[in-house]
Amino acid sequence: MQFIRTDIPEVIIIEPRVFEDSRGFFMETYQARNFAQAGIGFNFVQDNHSRSTQYTLRGLHYQIRHAQGKSVRVVAGEIFDVAVDIRRSSSTFGKSIGILLSAQNKRQLWIPPGFAHGFYVVSEWAEVLYKATDFYDPNAERVIIWNDPTLNVPWPIAPGELPALSPKDLAGKLFAEAEIYE
């Protein structure tokens, strides 16, 4: 596995070694020693799987208590995956990282606790798997509105188009009004 630091050093792109031949492929998607050596020494306690249609945008989600780190990967289709630093004490506070994750490129994105997370489905549909470092707590869940002008996330959405959003995501708060981490 190769661990690639981004402009926000705690957010890491993970590229697995892929062994491919005429029968298909094999790759290791998680290995505790390798992750720990790259600074991802967390215990994962929950796996999640979602399927979404094209133009769906999920996010920007986080938990104010029981903050979750996430290792995100796509097993079918393609998404634009986003992590936003919402740690007030961080030098990268309010900055975001966005990368394409797909079944084809087999990349993963490590998003540590203290970040909001979201993704936009680029392909006809996509299936996303992610490992989380803490359990889901609906009472602690918060949402920042996807198109917050302060954050200016570069979503790959055509001008004039609107993504498909859940009622929860439509009701997201502006970054300036959101509960964040100190």
21 in a domain, yes or no?
no
> Residue 153: what pLDDT?
97
Is 176 a residue whose pLDDT tops 90? yes
Is 160 a residue whose pLDDT tops 90? no
22 in a domain, yes or no?
no
> Residue 45: what pLDDT?
97
Tokens of 66: 């029981």
Beta strands in the chain (DSSP E): 2-5, 12-15, 18-21, 24-27, 46-53, 57-63, 70-76, 78-85, 96-102, 108-111, 115-121, 125-132, 141-143
Residue type (1 letter), 49: H
182 in a domain, yes or no?
no
> Residue 159: what pLDDT?
85
> Residue 68: what pLDDT?
97
Give the predicted TM-score (pTM) of the model. Answer: 0.94
CATH code: domain of residue 78: 2.60.120.10
23 in a domain, yes or no?
no
114 in a domain, yes or no?
yes
**Domain count of the fold of the chain:** 1
Is 169 a residue whose pLDDT tops 90? yes
What confidence tens digit (pLDDT) does each residue in 133-143 have?
Answer: 999 999 999 99
> Residue 133: what pLDDT?
98
Is 182 a residue whose pLDDT tops 90? no
3-state secondary structure of 170: helix
What confidence tens digit (pLDDT) does each residue in 26-55 have?
Answer: 999 999 999 999 999 999 999 999 999 999
Residues above pLDDT 70, as percent of the chain: 100
Is 108 a residue whose pLDDT tops 90? yes
> Residue 57: what pLDDT?
98
19 in a domain, yes or no?
no
Q: Work out the average pLDDT over 81-97.
A: 97
20 in a domain, yes or no?
no
Burial degree of 29 (CB within 10 A; 0-12, 13-18, 19+): middle
36 in a domain, yes or no?
yes
Split at pLDDT 50, 70, 90, the class of 80 is: very high
Residues with a known catalytic role: 61, 130
The domain in which residue 67 lies consists of 2-14+28-177
> Residue 89: what pLDDT?
96
What confidence tens digit (pLDDT) does each residue in 55-66 have?
Answer: 999 999 999 999
